[in-house]
Every structure is written in structure tokens, then in C-alpha cells.
Structure 1
Amino acid sequence: MKKLSIWFTALLIAAGLGIIIPGPASAATSYCGLTWGSLAKAAPDTGAGSVTNVRSGRQACYDRLVIDLNGRTDGYRVEYVGVITSDGKGEVIPVRGGARLRIVALAPAYNDSGSATYLPANPKEVVNVAGYQTFRQVVWAGSYEGQTTLGLGVRARLPFRAFTLVGPGGGSRLVIDVAHFW
């Protein structure tokens, strides 16, 4: 009988400490404190820059894609789509991953003379994202009629954000962050 009361007391203490019975999950809690969604994001174009580089990076809670511009450009459209298509021709471009983000920078990858300001060495692998937690592939979809399109293959349809940063110098950057988890 004494053993039973000791076990019962231990069970009550463990339950009181939350060891055995977990508390309810909170809807307000999110992965790494991120509160982004997965719906389309856009901003109107207010500048006149052109694309000069595309690069990526890994953070603790998300993977990041950065499009560098040589002038002020705030305009973009970023959204999940079923397929990525090339600018101008509309041909489907295969992209690895469980979901695809179409990134449209409202800036050309060429100057006023039509000379390229950015042309990836490999349009099927614009940047190397091997080993990234969320990114699977970055593809070049083209630059046509004053806008540049990239396809970003990701592991799944995950929360993301898009925004611009001014600088360095007279340039700016379009930044796309995709969370590792919900």
C-alpha cells in the first residue's frame, strides 16, 4: 500500500510539473517567432535600377535569396505557383522541390542599351543551394519588358517574406526569406 501511495504522489508531482501531461499548444506560437504567411507579396515599382547579382544565404530559422540592383527599386511580386515559366516564351522550366515561388523583380537585367547587367553562368542553377534546409533550386526565367523573373524551388509551401533594402551606395536589394518550418 505504501508503494502505491508513493507512485501516486510521484504521478501527481510529475503532472503538476507538466512532465506527463503537456499543456495545450498555442496558436500564437510560431516557429522561431516568425509570423509570416504563404500568400503572395507585392510592392509597386518606384525606382529605375537593374539586376546585377543573385546570391543566397542560410540563417538559423530561414533560407535567404538576395537580388542585388544597381539603383533604387522597390517593386516586386513573389508568390507560390504551380509551375515556373520563362519570360516572353512562356515555356515551363523544371524546378526541384515540393513547391515553387515565382519571384518577379520589377527591374530589368539589362541597361538602356540592351546590354546585360546580370546573366547567370548556369540558368538552371543560378546559385548553389546544396545543403540548404528549405531551398532546393534557383532557376533563371528571364528578363523581359523591364522585369526579371526567377523560380525558387523549396521543400514545401512554407511561410515567406519579401522586402527591399536600400544600399549599399546607390543600389538596393530585394530579399526573399523562406522559413524552415511553419
Structure 2
Amino acid sequence: MPRTLRRALTVALAVTAVALPLAAATAPSPVPVAASACSTPWGSTPEQVERLGRAPLTAVRTGRHDCFDRVVFDLDGTAAGYRVEYVDEVRQDGSGDVIPVPGGARLQVSVHHPAYDDAGEPTIEPPPTAGDEVADVSGYDTLRSVVYASSFEGSTTFGVGVRARLPFRVLVVDGSRLVVDVAHRWY
């Protein structure tokens, strides 16, 4: 190989070797900071704990957060069990009647606790009837409605209407609050 050609190849390789790492080091990050701050391992499959509890349900509240909307079910005692799942229709326990739940998708939340005391008196004020919206979620990013369905044989059912089928999680906070968080989007 002639000396000038060899020298040109050596210079070209040296320039390429230096240029590649610099280009790679200045490439933009593929993950936006805001999305990574909200990323969760949540999914959209049913979550449940089978135990029944005796502590009555006393209130239903909601809250808004940066990455999710929250529904809180307050109990007068220790939380035991629940079942939360996406359904086509929310149904009232006992009768099987369909309960209208506004939203693009519906979570059926069964809190394995009654909404009445040992004397049969309602423990949520004011006492809801089937189909009543029990929380104002106007302006929420994800939640569209929280509707009471029934309290039957020690379990209380609600329909939670959401914008779309989005990831959720269920957790117990401070031993006496059952919490359902629904993400604003898939991250």
C-alpha cells in the first residue's frame, strides 16, 4: 500500500474514533424527566385480599396528585379485604342490577366491610342509595365518578368511573384506610 494512502487511512480512522464517542456523549436522553418521575409498576389486572372485616365503612373521599387520582375508603377499625377490578358493568350485590357509572372505563371496588353497624344502621353520612355519586370528582385528570352500588352481607360495592382503562394500585394506609390510586396515563 502506498505511503500516502496508508497515512490517509490512519488519519481517517483516528478522526472517526474520536468523533463517535463525542457524538454518543451528547445524545439527548430518550426518557423525559416528567415521565420517569411518574413511572410505576402498576397494572390493570384485578387485585384482591379475600378476608372479611367487621369494621364498618365510615366515609369515601378523593384526592388529586401529580401522577394519579385517589379514592380513599375510611373504616372504623382495621382494614381486612377487598377486590378491585375493571368490569364492563358495575353490578349491585344481591340483585345483580346494573349500576350506571359515568366514565370511559369502570372499576368495581368491593370493600369487604359493611356500610352499617351491628344494629343495621348506616355508617356513611348521609346514607347513600344505589346509584348515588358519593364524591365530587369534577376537574380530576383520571376520575370521572365514584358511585355507591350496595352494602350486602358484610361487603360494600362502589363503581369508580375513570377516563380510560389505566393502571391502578390498592393499598392499606394507617391500618384503617383502603386506598385505590389510578394513574393519569400509562408510563
TM range (shorter): 0.7 to 0.9
1:45 aligns with 2:45: no
TM superposition shift of 1:123: 4.3
* Structure 1 residues 79-132: Cα deviation after superposition (integer angstroms, max 9, x where no partner): 000001112211111111111000000000001111111123894321000000
Contact 1:136–1:152 under 8 Å retained in 2 = yes
Contact 1:31–1:181 under 8 Å retained in 2 = no
1:130 aligns with 2:115: no
Contact 2:52–2:113 under 8 Å retained in 1 = no
Q: Please give the secondary structure, in 1, of the residue aligned with 2:38.
A: helix
> Relative to total residues, which structure has the larger helix share, 1 or 2?
2
Runs in 1 of length 4+ with deviation above 4 angstroms? 12-16
Match of 2:17 in 1: none
TM-score by length of 1: 0.80
Structure 1 residue runs without a partner (length 5+)? 1-11
Match of 1:120 in 2: 128
Q: Please say which structure displays the higher CA radius of gyration.
A: 2
Relative to structure 1, is the Cα distance of residues 31 and 90 closer, same or farther in structure 2, using a 3 angstrom cutoff? Answer: farther
* Stretch moving more, 107-116 or 31-40: 31-40
Superposed, which structure 2 residues align to 1:56-135 within 5 Å?
A: 56-118=62-124, 119-120=127-128, 123-135=131-143
Provide the alpha-carbon RMSD of the alignment: 2.5
Aligned residue pairs, count: 162
Partners of 2:138 and 2:184 in 1: CA distance: 15
1:178 aligns with 2:186: no
* Structure 1 residues 2-51: Cα deviation after superposition (integer angstroms, max 9, x where no partner): xxxxxxxxxx98887336xx75x7xxx86712110110001132642010
* Structure 1 residues 132-159: Cα deviation after superposition (integer angstroms, max 9, x where no partner): 0000011100100000000000001100
Structure 2 residue runs without a partner (length 5+)? 1-19
Relative to structure 1, is the Cα distance of residues 144 and 46 closer, same or farther in structure 2, using a 3 angstrom cutoff? Answer: closer
Match of 2:5 in 1: none
Q: Please give the secondary structure, in 2, of the residue aligned with 1:131.
A: coil
Match of 1:17 in 2: 26
* Structure 1 residues 51-77: Cα deviation after superposition (integer angstroms, max 9, x where no partner): 000000000000000000001122000
* Stretch moving more, 102-111 or 82-91: 82-91
